[in-house]
Structures are given as structure tokens and as C-alpha cells.
Copies of this chain bind each other. A is one copy, B any other.
Amino acid sequence: MSYRYDEALDGPLIAHDRNEVVARLRQRVPDLTILHEAEDLHPFECDGLASYRTTPLLVALPETVEQVAKLLRYAHEARIPVVARGAGTGLSGGALPLEKGILLVMARFNRILDIDPEAATARVQPGVRNLAISHAASVHGLYYAPDPSSQIACSIGGNVAENAGGVHCLKYGLTVHNILKLDILTIEGEHVTLGSDALDAPGFDLLALFTGSEGMLGIVVEVTVKLLTKPQSARVLLASFDDVERAGSAVAGIIGAGVIPGGLEMMDNLAIRAAEDFIHAGYPVEAAAILLCEVDGAERDVQEDCERVEALLRDAGATDVRVARDEAERQRFWAGRKNAFPAVGRISPDYYCMDGTIPRRELPGVLAGIEQLSAQYGLRVANVFHAGDGNLHPLILFDANAGETERAEALGGAILELCVKVGGSITGEHGVGREKINQMCAQFNSDELRLFYALKAAFDPLGLLNPGKNIPTLHRCAEFGSMHVHHGALRFPELERF
């Protein structure tokens, strides 16, 4: 696979001399760990979107809030951009470094500071792994609900930056619904608390604004998360369909009946085969599509919901419905789904994972549209969906060495524009990052982008935090071609630096 350096990201930034920056930073923050040799920087060149790579100016590995504050104050004074990085598992290049910027790696902020079982909350540092919170809380019968596929590795700070979801977010919400309070540092090194321990906070909702802002507004140094009581029981149904659209309708049927499953996932034939070959989950390899539906709650409810969902699935035309007989089979059913991405990686030299959302009712039509686009671009697409909440993960199979990268990206772009066209959006849970910066021009008009710039400027007037990600410049949108210039003129040319 070929890696690319994005000239547009670094181009407009001021170049600083590496040795000088290192020397000054050592002076200002003597106890800070700094990496700046080529071989030390190499592992930080990309995040989970490995098709983009850049060597950062330097990598800083702070261990205390005071170190981060001092670093930010220096970067602000010296006008050096700062890109924050958690575990680097992000899939949209949100933590892609800048050649002219500092990469601020928060991995050493890995302590769980406090678990309060009575309030059902935990205070954690941003580098704590998502799953580590649930492990630590499990002695109290509690867990942290959002469960991205990368939960064993990804950090809570990165989850906040991307407003991460997961298999269970249909019922339990995204990251923003599962956090209470954030402690952040602004680019000027000021400590600000967003949200509160109480139900609601007065003033503007900065907590929600910050969540999903992809490192553009500040640096998270502490997160207070909500914990939930573990459901007494959970059971999974696996339904087979000989027609993808019928599976799509079954989803609408279940939700329409008022059942809110813990998870409701869909895979198409290509994804099923890939996963079955890899995991031996017991999936029906002849099915056009499968649905995995988990019901959780009190034991008796689960029993009842299970019967209800089975009836709904059969009504919707399922050719077969199986309930996992035991916990081992339940885990196997989920393992197939959770490993669908690497499974597809085994049957194609490269794959490109998309992340669009659509209104649930559009599912059958969009599936047909993706099939058409797949044929048109001559590339196979395996479909894995958080079907319950209309979050699609089409996986585009391609071969970079055969020169198919651009075609794959063009197909990805076309799929996302289809999502926007039916009233959806270009990202469900992976974020915009570097990857979907052009599609943002299709999603938003210039008035909306102008609001984004102004909000960005409210936190970071000099545009030093993660520039070039998440929010495209009007200039970029004009080049991308879907730009509608407002009242005949670009209105905020001075904001073009973002």
C-alpha cells in the first residue's frame, strides 16, 4: 500500500527549526519526554488511517497537567501547531501529525483516578483505555457503555475527540451521552471545566460542543464518565435473509415495534463469508444478509423480548432464526461481527472502511445504491452496518499496488455523498479527520462552515490546534467544487488558515 503526504495540510504553516524547538521546549518544560530522532518519530507517523503518513516535528509525551499547560503556552507563543493523539486507533486520520507541528501523545495519562459506585461515575485520565474503565468498574457491577470495535486499545480521550459509538450505542448512546464532565486545557494553557456532576449545567453546552471536536478546541486532561449497571442477562439472535433489502425492512420492523435492542447489526454476503472464514462464528455463508440482534435486561424480559424479536424477524421474511444457545455461542456470534474488518483484510490486499449514516428507512434504497456504485467503479464492497441506528460501514476492497487507491477513494466519496443526499451524514462514529474533509463541503454550506470557523476561533483564535482536520476551509471547498460562495464573496478570508 502506498502512503501519501498531504501537502495541503502543512503547506500554509510556518516552518520551525526542529533543534531550536526541542531546545526551547526543554528549557520551558525540563521534565518533559521529547522524541525527535527519525527512528523515534517513525511509529507516530499515522493513526489507524494508515494511507496518510507524516513525520511530526517532534513528539511530546507529557505525564502531568502542568507539563501539558507549559507546552501549550510555549506552542501558543511560538505559533507552533499541536496535534493531540490518544492510542492512535482512529480511522479518519484525526491524529495524523503535521510536519511543522508538535504531536502531543497523551498515552501516559493512563490512571483511573476515582470510581464512585454510588454516583455511578468514574474520573479517568484521557489515556485510559476504553475497556479498562469497564474492567475497573466491574467489581461494583458497573460498566462504561460505549464500545467501539477498538475498545481494547482505544483511549477515552480519543473517544471524546471523535464522539465514539459502538455496537451498543443504539440503546446506550454515543460518548457524548455517557460523559458528565471534561477538564480541558485551552491552547493558552488555561484549565477549564466543561459540564458538571449534576444533570444539567447552565450556560452554553460546552461539554457537547467539545465532544467530537477532534482536537480542534482544546486538550482533554480528565474525563468524568457515567457508569451503567450491567444488564442481568443478554441474548443474541442470528437471522438469515436471502435478500438484503428484506433484512433492511426487518430492522425497521423491530424498531417500529418499540423494541430497543442492545445491538442490531447487519452484514452482507461478502462480509459474512470473510468473517466465517476467519472466525468460524457459525454464520450461514449462503445467506444474502444476516442480522445480529441482542436483547438485554432482566432475565424474564430478555426471554420475552427474544420471542418477540424472533417473531418479528420471521414476519419480515427471515429464512432462519437462531438464538445463541449459551454464552460461548453468543461471544462467537459477536466475534464474527467485531472482526469483520480484519476478516475483509484477509480477502483483499487493501480495504477502505467508510462510515456514513442514513435515516433508517433509507437502508434498502442505499444498499441498492451502493451495489450500483460498486459495479460502476468495478470494486467489491462488503457491507457491515450498525443497522439499528443507520450507521453504515461499507468496506471497499481494492489493491493499492494495482493503482486502485484513487478509484477506491472516489467510490468512498460517492457512497458518502449518497448518504448526504438521503438526509444522512458523512460520519457516524469515525469522525471527519483528514479523510472526509472534502465530503464536509457536500454536507455543509458556507453559512454553516462560517459558524464552525467562528466557534473554532472562540477557542483557538490562531488556529493552532489540529489545523487542516475536521472543518474544511472555504478555499478547500471551492477547490473540491461543491462550494456555494456566500453572497458572491468569501466572508471570512482571515479564517482561511484553519
Contacts and interface: CB of A to CB of B under 8 A. Distances in A.
Contacts of A300: 300-301, 304
Contact of A357 (B199, B217, B258, B431): B199
Contact of A197 (B177, B193, B359, B444): B359
Contacts of A119: 359-361
Contacts of A204: 209, 212-213, 217, 452, 455-456, 471
A429 B202 CA distance: 9
Question: How many copies altogether?
Answer: 2
A280 B86 CA distance: 59
Contacts of A447: 186, 190-192
Contacts of A424: 196-198
Given A198-B423, A200-B163, A458-B457, A229 B258 contact: yes
A157 interface: no
A408 interface: no
Contact of A202 (B190, B390, B427, B459): B427
Interface in A280-328: 298, 300-301, 304
How big is the A interface, by class?
35 or more
Given A208-B176, A209-B205, A458-B454, A389 B199 contact: yes
A471 B440 CA distance: 32
Determine which residue in A119, A198, A217, A471 has the highest number of CB atoms from chain B within 10 A of its CB, and name it.
A198
B186 A205 contact: no
Nearest to A388: B199
A174 interface: yes
A448 interface: yes
A466 interface: no
Contacts of A428: 198-200
Given A197-B424, A200-B425, A454-B457, 10 more contacts: A165-B200, A174-B199, A196-B357, A196-B424, A198-B359, A198-B391, A202-B431, A202-B443, A205-B205, A206-B451
